[in-house]
Structure 1
């Protein structure tokens, strides 16, 4: 849900358990070096990808744990769902995991006798002994946006902090800001519990992004952005302010397991840090939630494309730049760069076009009748700031959109004020580690889980 929208890409509707290592967190709790959770993926339809990504990009551009994760693909969505246990005793919910937003919020119900409700359809605050609304006069209440029409009564003991969280497409969720105890299932079968996690208890939701088909099966959103109330920030302080993930090739069968890790990925066995390449994470004060990186140049094979550095730059108003986003499936590039890249691919790719073009894609090829259904295609290379080189395999940017049809999985961003996005399809097969203390993004082909 980019700084207010939903989508963490591909995976399969299945449940997973967290692997926990290390020792000792706070009084009466254990501290862990890392939390490691499996991510599974299923392939969404291209039309669903384009629709979801387009809605998300509109939201991202206008908007100014590791936990068990399951995919919404089986319900027609292209998101990662996180299994989130909230309250005492724990109530199981599925949340959309989102690196492009900060607020953790769940659909809440105020009903007392909920025996006739669909199980897990909402969080029942009245049934939790650890639910604690934040008072509107509490400093924590300043961390979330408020409806201005609601005045805070400082003298009342029970005057909750009300929030209203808007999305650029007109969607909105509102409710009470609160704290709760969360629990994640460990591989040992024992729960790992964290107290006083701040979240939004949402009683109202409206708008296409959170009531439409893209939200099917979810009861809220898990924000993993750079802001102070994201789960990556709240738990990250206990895990070295790092998190990482590895997304495997979704076309393989059986689908190999991917991982999301909160904590030190080296300690989690994800990769050897000496084999990682690094690029700085750039802070944009206008959009502080997002994980920006710098692009210095783009090559197709051995040809460096004549793209001005200004195409990739963040201007003085905070516009432009490039965001690394696990919540967007395709890669979106500023129009001048997109045009150069697509034209160079068209110049080099000599294979026939399909009889019917896939709507929304500018370059598609017909591979029927070829001795190899995965022909050699031109390779793209990104040179990031700091000199690191990101060279994804061609399967990361040529998408199977129909039998015997492959399309270049890039999209243009027409607005000069918008930013580019490296989507999760382009990221497959790499471990990405977000070191928030050092403001570095590390990446490596080594250490991703194997099929």
Structure 2
């Protein structure tokens, strides 16, 4: 979910939360992800801008077609006693927030639908005089406090690009993880937003079904990966397995380094630099050099992929957006190339939201041109065709790409395009690793 409002096709992937111990000296948090079999065109949740004994966290990603949402969820246990809530896992925003209720008699609220601060003995709202509150909104964003409000609770407002908004109190809690050894791991002083007012399609609409909040995994200091990075290593990774398989393979989000799991994968992992955009510091930018279809380079000018002096453009990796969204000049070239080479008939009725759809009733295994992205540093991302042609209705498949709907917004590699790959976000080395061989052993 970008900090920009972007339209995308979503598939629900809740993440169940576990902590596991790999060795005596290396611990990790491993979170399972859940995925929905239902499709929805949805708004992405991008935030509007603008050591050897190190422990690690790991959890699986499992298919869950119960809510019909279209996002990846994390089951986070918050408070004392712990309250379990499902949060959208989002590399395109920083804030962790949950729906909160101030009710005294909560009989009208179903369990796990919201977080009840009154039911937690460890809930603590930050106050304006605290540095944590002042760091909540780095420049150029407005500070939520002024000198007359130093002893007031620290309020936050976090907007998304489509006008959606969450607001409430920036707070502190204890989060709890269940380990594979039937023990509990608790992390104290966890900062999050207790959202009492949430509005807009990104955080209340159909695409948000089943979610109780958002887990921001961005590069900012208040994100989940940044807060846990201080304890579990400044690195995280995930695998998003093919949700069309039955039974759906388990996927995982890992906070920290999981050395044992990448043995044998290191030689096959590719790296590209994570670029920095000072005007949009939340996002994980990568550099695209060229796009190929059946190994033929498409005539897309390199400037289409670059970040300009105003911080516009570029390309980001985002787990909270499902479709791949491209700058209009690039999208037009890719769409035209696919239309020239795909010879299957069109469906009887157009499919809303897609510019290229085909009727596959006459073939048992449709074949599409091979798409590849050449990245900065020389590595090449070659997604399988199921990552960019998806079934939208019975016997109809569509190109899972759209043009970005903001002229200045970044292009987005969405979670469908990421399926079947291990992606490793190495923040200390500022690089993104990816491998088509790293998920099967998880």
Q: 1:449 — aligned with what?
A: 440
Instruction: Give yes or no for contact 2:20–2:58 (8 Å, CA) kept in 1.
Output: no
Instruction: Give yes or no for contact 1:32–1:239 (8 Å, CA) kept in 2.
Output: no
Q: Does 1:63 align with 2:56?
A: no
Instruction: Give yes or no for contact 1:8–1:79 (8 Å, CA) kept in 2.
Output: no
Which of these residues, 111, 119, 144, is aligned with residue 111 of structure 2? Answer: 119
Tell me the TM-score normalised to structure 2 length. 0.90
CA RMSD of aligned residues (A): 2.7
Q: Does 1:391 align with 2:379?
A: no
SS in 1 for 2:127: coil
Instruction: Give yes or no for contact 1:10–1:80 (8 Å, CA) kept in 2.
Output: yes
- Please state how far the C-alpha of 1:176 moved relative to its aligned partner: 1.6
CA distance in 1, matches of 2:32, 2:187: 20
Tell me the TM-score normalised to structure 1 length. 0.88
Number of equivalenced pairs? 432
**Between 229-238 and 64-73, the greater mean CA deviation after superposition:** 64-73
SS in 1 for 2:36: coil
CA distance in 2, matches of 1:237, 1:230: 11
SS in 2 for 1:438: coil
Residue-by-residue CA offset, 1:175-232 (whole Å, 9 max, x unaligned): 2212111001222222221110111122222233222222222222111111000010
Instruction: Give yes or no for contact 1:71–1:81 (8 Å, CA) kept in 2.
Output: no
Q: 2:54 — aligned with what?
A: none
Instruction: Give yes or no for contact 2:70–2:207 (8 Å, CA) kept in 1.
Output: yes
Q: 2:82 — aligned with what?
A: 90
Q: 2:212 — aligned with what?
A: 219
Q: Does 1:368 align with 2:369?
A: no
**Between 244-253 and 137-146, the greater mean CA deviation after superposition:** 137-146
Residue-by-residue CA offset, 1:89-138 (whole Å, 9 max, x unaligned): 11111222211111111222233343553222222222222222212101
Q: 1:170 — aligned with what?
A: 163
Q: 2:227 — aligned with what?
A: 234
Structure 1 pair 34–8 and aligned structure 2 pair: CA distance change class (3 A): farther
CA distance in 1, matches of 2:359, 2:4: 38
Q: 2:237 — aligned with what?
A: 244
SS in 2 for 1:74: coil
Residue-by-residue CA offset, 1:10-61 (whole Å, 9 max, x unaligned): 3456x7352412579xxxxxx853211222322232xx1x3x1xx328x56x
Structure 1 pair 117–378 and aligned structure 2 pair: CA distance change class (3 A): closer
**Between 181-190 and 391-400, the greater mean CA deviation after superposition:** 181-190
CA distance in 1, matches of 2:361, 2:423: 35
**Between 82-91 and 141-150, the greater mean CA deviation after superposition:** 141-150
Q: Does 1:347 align with 2:331?
A: no
CA distance in 1, matches of 2:263, 2:13: 21
CA distance in 2, matches of 1:211, 1:9: 15
- Please state how far the C-alpha of 1:152 moved relative to its aligned partner: 5.2
Structure 1 pair 355–120 and aligned structure 2 pair: CA distance change class (3 A): closer
Q: Does 1:135 align with 2:127?
A: yes
**Between 104-113 and 287-296, the greater mean CA deviation after superposition:** 104-113
Structure 1 pair 5–443 and aligned structure 2 pair: CA distance change class (3 A): same
Instruction: Give yes or no for contact 2:155–2:167 (8 Å, CA) kept in 1.
Output: yes
CA distance in 1, matches of 2:264, 2:105: 49
Q: 1:28 — aligned with what?
A: none
Structure 1 pair 381–338 and aligned structure 2 pair: CA distance change class (3 A): same
- Please state how far the C-alpha of 1:149 moved relative to its aligned partner: 8.2
Q: Gaps spanning 5+ residues in structure 2: where?
A: 51-56
Q: 1:21 — aligned with what?
A: 21
- Please state how far the C-alpha of 1:382 moved relative to its aligned partner: 0.6
